[in-house]
Amino acid sequence: MWAPFHSAFVRSQMAHVVLVPAVAAGLVALSARALSASAPRLARCLAALAVPVAFLAGYFVIYRNFTFPPETVLSWVPVFVAALAVIASTPGRAGTPVRARVLPIAVAACAVVALLYPILERERLLAAIEAWAAATAVWSSLWVTASAPDDDRGALAAVLVVGASGLAVVAPLSGSILLGELAAALAVALVAAWVLAGFHGGAGLSDAARASAAFAAGAVLLDLRFYAGAGGGITLAFVASFALGFGAVLLRGRRAPHPWATLVPAMLASVPVMIAVAIAVRAAHLSGGY
């Protein structure tokens, strides 16, 4: 039973993917708790950063080839996550409509160029514009939905966890252990921050948490499709997962009792994820890699 934990690779994976993000989220939550009496406003802003800080901690121990200014595709990820965390957690700098609609569209448009530049520059101008517009439209639409108001925000967090966990499983099967590690670190960061918020009586994931999580999940899916070679069926399955989950959150309103308000969107989101996993397993088996 304990044999896998004797492997140095498994132990390093557990430390980088699970331990580091969880500890980082815990330290941020504890720091915010300690500051709550003396500096409540600062404490609230710090607590909102649990997910982005935890994900970035995992990113920096997993992906060691980062540069600033960014020179690689993945080197852009922490820049965007850090900027989003600051913008979304700073009160009074932007109104709700800007944060919920304009910011995701603008950031998605810029991020698609940054992440897909090596591919877009090789395409004809019209084809590059079409690819950029399609990726931006899908990403920003899901992102805007993820940023929609939610009473306890638990349902949206559950959908994001399901999607990130699915990406963590599918990415290695599609040939990218690195993307799988980043997705797993995101899932751990979300779960840790969600649990800690519940212990402290919080309202679930903050705006900064959901913005950074939506960006990170979209970046992993984009890289998985265009660089790891995941098929269109896998990509569509994950898009359907987020669309179904977020759509269920928006449609339910306040009519469902609390447990089902979180479980139903998560269960709906998990169905396309299971389809994506099945497609990835079959593709890996046919290629001799599984």
Return the biggest CA–CA distance within the chain: 60
* pLDDT tens digit sequence for 206-249: 778 888 888 999 999 999 988 888 888 999 999 999 888 888 88
What is each CA distance from 153 to 2, 27, 65, in whole angstroms?
37, 22, 34
Q: Residue 179: its pLDDT value, please?
A: 93
* pLDDT tens digit sequence for 17-47: 888 888 898 888 888 777 776 777 777 778 7
Contact call for residues 46 and 217 (beta carbons, < 8 A): no
**Residues whose CB is less than 8 angstroms from the CB of residue 212 and which lie 6 or more positions away in sequence, other chains included:** 51, 52, 55, 81, 84, 85, 88
Contact call for residues 126 and 198 (beta carbons, < 8 A): no
Higher-pLDDT residue of 223, 287:
223
Contact call for residues 208 and 52 (beta carbons, < 8 A): yes
- The Cα–Cα gap between 135 and 233 comes to 15
- The Cα–Cα gap between 201 and 222 comes to 35
Q: What is the mean pLDDT of residues 56-77?
A: 87
Q: C-alpha angle 144/107/157, rounded to 5°?
A: 40
Q: Residue 251: its pLDDT value, please?
A: 77
* Helix segments in the chain, DSSP class H: 8-13, 20-35, 40-47, 50-62, 76-89, 96-97, 103-120, 125-146, 154-173, 177-199, 207-226, 232-252, 258-286
- The Cα–Cα gap between 262 and 271 comes to 15
- The Cα–Cα gap between 126 and 29 comes to 47
Taking alpha carbons only, the member of 161, 112, 116, 163 closest to residue 138 is 112
- The Cα–Cα gap between 15 and 4 comes to 14
* pLDDT tens digit sequence for 145-157: 766 665 556 778 8
pLDDT surpassing 60 at residue 139: yes
Structure tokens at 26: 């815990």
What is each CA distance from 133 to 108, 219, 223, in whole angstroms?
10, 15, 16
Domain ranges, ordered by start, for the chain: 3-286
* pLDDT tens digit sequence for 111-124: 898 998 888 888 78
- The Cα–Cα gap between 17 and 171 comes to 14
Q: Residue 259: its pLDDT value, please?
A: 62
Contact call for residues 19 and 27 (beta carbons, < 8 A): no
- The Cα–Cα gap between 102 and 113 comes to 17
Q: What is the mean pLDDT of residues 42-60?
A: 87
Helix axes 207-226, 50-62, angle to 10 degrees: 30
pTM value is 0.88
- The Cα–Cα gap between 204 and 261 comes to 14
